[in-house]
Amino acid sequence: MARKGAVLRRKPRLRTELSEADEARLQAAVAMFGLPKAEVVRRLIRASVQSGPALSAENTVVVVELAGQVRRVGRNLAQVLKAIHRGHAVRIEDTEPVWRGLYEAVSAINDELTEMTLAYGSKLRRNAGLAPRLSEADA
């Protein structure tokens, strides 16, 4: 029986609605980490605050540089399309180096952005103490 005048204190609760895709991701995290849903969410909240912003100052500079590269690629592509519209189109074989260069530039930008986001995700999981559970086949 509670004491007279005692105030019952409830822990704060979070109730949220998830899309089906987010629920599937949460279920995958529960299976991967072997933890209850609430614990996965608590650890991610703690880790996101401890990990700081998704982009470091250095990564922000890199993103600005990558954005400049994307603009240059776009200008190159626009120049090729203008030449085609003016009737100055050349044989497709002659344009291969341009297309290859554009592809390589876009691939390099994609690789760098992927590396940054994977590194942040790893940092977040590490800070949250969320290591994937090893299956018997992996052990």
What pLDDT, in 10s, does the model give residues 53-110?
A: 566 677 778 888 888 888 888 888 888 778 878 887 677 777 788 788 888 888 888 8
d(CA 51, CA 57): 14
Domain boundaries, the chain: 55-128
Q: What's the predicted TM-score (pTM) here?
A: 0.43
Q: Across the chain, what does the average pLDDT equal?
A: 79
